[in-house]
Structure 1
Amino acid sequence: MLTIRHEVPKGLLDLEAHELYKKLEGPTLFHLEGRRTPPLFVSVLLHGNEPVGWEAVRSLLGQYQDRELPRALSLFVGNVAAARYRLRRLDSQPDHNRIWTPGPTPEHAMAAQVYEEMAKSGLFASIDIHNNTGLNPHYACVNKLASPFLHLAALFSRTVIYFVRPQGVQSLAFAELGPAVTLECGQPDCPQGVAHAREYLTACLHLAEFPSHSIAKREIELFHTVAVVRIPSELRVGFHGEDLDLRLVDDLDQLNFQELPANTLLGWQPSDPNVLLTVTDEQDVEVSERYFYLEDSELRTRRPVMPSMLTRDIRVIRQDCLCYLMERMQLPNTS
């Protein structure tokens, strides 16, 4: 399933994400030489409807077609098949950002092969680049709170999120090999997201090393993902209609990165007296009653929370989740 190449095929950089199937048979790992080693690892298009990473990379590589990269680059181009149709994933596929732990599918085996390749060669840092479908600021995510991870994140944004769930994500796996971040670059097809990601990659390629000192508290705002909110697949969910099990408020995605007070309205459950959301914490324990309650069919927050990744795209909600819940976190002493 995985193709490994040591050059960029002629004409590849002329293609947009949904056109890559014309040149690539599927997931492809490029090892490109540069002045410094070990390589910077970059993964793009783990979700086929999130083209920002590929657009940033092809713009950057276009500038280096006739000159040496400042650092070797290992580029993983992920779900080419889903990108063809501008979908997060095909119905027949697992989520390509949930396959980085052992599993039964060919995609899991492919991800293991990528990991083994990079474990063998070593890496300077790992960067996984995403769009999101709701209204969110640009931010970086880390899975460890060591200084190199935080410096790598702060180079992209003051807003940094620490998480350890869901398992199977690329950055969580590659955090065992070196500093790793996930970048969230706003909504698809936003030129500011592409420009921000390209500038960040250029800066990382020019880095010789990470600062040895701990990051200053004033340099970042740190948040901790404490729970994942999902909607059971059998429920009828939407924003309009009388026959829904759960009707969500129209401006749902405008609640992202807002510190919502207790009793904030999220939607209506017209015919069920129980909270229909499934909420799991970092230990995978069901904790929906800790965060939500019903009052006369109104679904409300029980305590102050800050959501991220809320979207109006029902397909994405079903394929991933409704949102993540975060809390502010004190910056620990790191080394």
Structure 2
Amino acid sequence: MLTQYDHIPDGLLTLEADQLIGQLPGPSLIHLPGRKPQPLFVSVLMHGNEHVGWEAIRLLLKRYQGGKELPRSLSLFIGNVAAAAEHKRLLPGQSDYNRVWPGCQATESAERRMMAQVVDLMRERKPFASVDVHNNTGLNPHYACVNKLDSAFLHLALLFSRTVVYFLRPKGVQSMAFAELCPSVTLECGKVGSAHGVEHALEYLEACLHLAEHPQHPVAHQDIDLFHTVAQVKVAGDTRFGFSPGESELVFDPDLDHMNFRELPAGTLFGWVNGRGIEALDVRDEQGAEVARDYFQIDDGQLCLNRSVMPSMLTKNLEVIKQDCLCYLMERYTAHLDQQ
């Protein structure tokens, strides 16, 4: 399922994400030499409808065409090119490429075996750092995610944004697998089609290639806005839901995505419930325990927050909600900077 290259295939950098399927046989791992031998690992198109990583990396590599040496070796993993061809997160019958890395809870699949192969191959190359580049739906700022509260990880994240999210769930994500090999981050670069997202990711990757080492001193509290993901919110599989009044059992506020990265008080309205109880939501904490009643309540048909939290990745994209989740709930985590 995985194809490896020791060069950039001819014409690859001229292609849009939805054209890659015509040049690559499938997921591909490209190893390129640089002045510093320890490679930067970059993964793009984990989700086929999130193009920012491919757009940024191809602009970056164009800077080094014509024999110009990369400042550091680079290993580039190009993921779900089949879904990218159809502008979909994933295709029917596929596993989510960012839920099947080592440590996942997914069932056995070709995608899961491939991700284990990628990790094994990169373990041999001793990567310097790992960067997984994503878009998201909804109105979100640019931010970085880490899976370890370690100074090197936090400094790598701060190179992208002072807004940093620490999470341990969902399992099976690329950054969590590579956190066992090297400092790793996930970049969230806003919506698809944003030129600013591409430019921001491009300059970040360029900066990573020029890093000589990872700072080891602790991150100062005043230099970071650190949040901890405490719960993932999904709509229960048998629940009819939407954003417009009608036959839905669960109707969300049409401006829900405006609540992203806002610290919301208890009582904030999320939507309305018709003929269902709190079981219309599936809310899981870091350990996978069901905690819907800890975070939500229903009062006279209104679905409201039960405590103060900050949401991220709230989206109005019904397909994304079905395939992934409605949002994540976070709390400020500055006290835990002392764990570095």
Same fold (TM over 0.5): yes
Structure 1 residue 161 and structure 2 residue 162: aligned? no
Query: What CA deviation, in whole Å up to 9, does each residue of 1:286-326 have, x standing for no partner?
Result: 01000001111110001111000100100000000010000
Q: Given that residues 306 and 327 in structure 1 are in contact (C-alpha distance below 8 angstroms), is that contact kept between their aligned partners in structure 2? A: yes
AA matched with 2:65 = Q
- Pairwise CA distance, 1:334: 4.9
Within the alignment, does 1:190 sit opposite 2:194 as a pair? yes
The question of 1:9 aligning with 2:13 is answered no
SS at match of 1:332: helix
Aligned position for 2:210: 206
Give how far 1:212 is off. 2.4
CA displacement at 1:275 relative to structure 2:
4.4
Tell me the CA shift for residue 332 of structure 1.
2.2
| Residue-by-residue CA offset, 1:210-268 (whole Å, 9 max, x unaligned) | 11211111211100000000101221111114110101110011110011111111111
| Between 266-275 and 4-13, the greater mean CA deviation after superposition | 266-275
Deviates more, 1:225-234 or 1:50-59: 225-234
Aligned residues: 335
Q: Deviations over 1:182-224 (max 9, x none)?
A: 0000000100000000000000000000112111112111000
**Does structure 1 conserve the Cα–Cα contact (< 8 Å) formed by 2:296 and 2:305?**
yes
Partner of 2:71: 70
Q: Distance in 2 between matches of 1:284 and 1:14?
A: 43
Q: Does the 8 A contact of 2:219 with 2:337 survive in 1?
A: no
CA distance in 2, matches of 1:182, 1:3: 23
Q: Secondary structure at the match of 1:333?
A: helix
Look up the equivalent residue of 1:69 and give its one-letter code. Answer: L
Does the CA-based 8 Å contact 2:296-2:303 persist in structure 1?
Answer: yes
Distance 1:334 1:195 in 2: 33
Question: 2:304 & 2:149 partners in 1: Cα distance?
Answer: 32
The structure-2 alpha-carbon separation of the partners of 1:274 and 1:325, relative to structure 1 and needing over 3 Å to count, comes to closer
Question: CA–CA distance in 1 between the matches of 2:19 and 2:76?
Answer: 18
Q: Is the Cα–Cα contact under 8 Å of residues 275 and 292 in structure 1 kept in the other structure?
A: no
Under a length normalisation based on structure 1, what TM-score does the superposition of the two structures give? 0.98
- Residue type at the aligned position of 2:165: I
- How big is the alpha-carbon RMSD for the aligned residues of Structure 1 and Structure 2? 1.0
**2:99 corresponds to which residue?**
98
CA contact (8 A) 1:230 1:322 kept: yes
1:112 has 2:110 as partner: no
2-side partners of 1:281 and 1:160: how far apart?
A: 19
- Asked if the contact 1:275–1:293 (Cα under 8 Å) also holds between the matched residues in 2, the reply is no
Q: Which runs of 5+ in 1 are unaligned?
A: none
Q: How far apart, CA to CA, are the structure 1 residues paired with 2:303 and 2:245?
A: 17
Structure 1 residue ranges, 4+ long, deviating more than 4 angstroms after superposition:
none
Contact 1:126 1:181 in 2 (8 A): yes
Distance 2:141 2:2 in 1: 33
Q: Which amino acid aligns with 1:45?
A: L
Amino acid at match of 1:49: N
Any conservation in 1 of the 2:35–2:73 contact (CA below 8 Å)? yes
Higher alpha-carbon deviation: 149-158 or 216-225: 216-225
1:141 and 1:161 in contact (8 A); partners too: yes
Give the CA deviation at 1:333. 2.6
C-alpha contact (below 8 Å) 2:243/2:254 kept by paired residues: yes
TM-score (norm. length: structure 2): 0.97
Q: Does 1:171 align with 2:172?
A: no
Q: 233, 236, 239: which is aligned to 1:235?
A: 239
**Equivalents in 2 of 1:72, 1:182: separation in Å?**
20
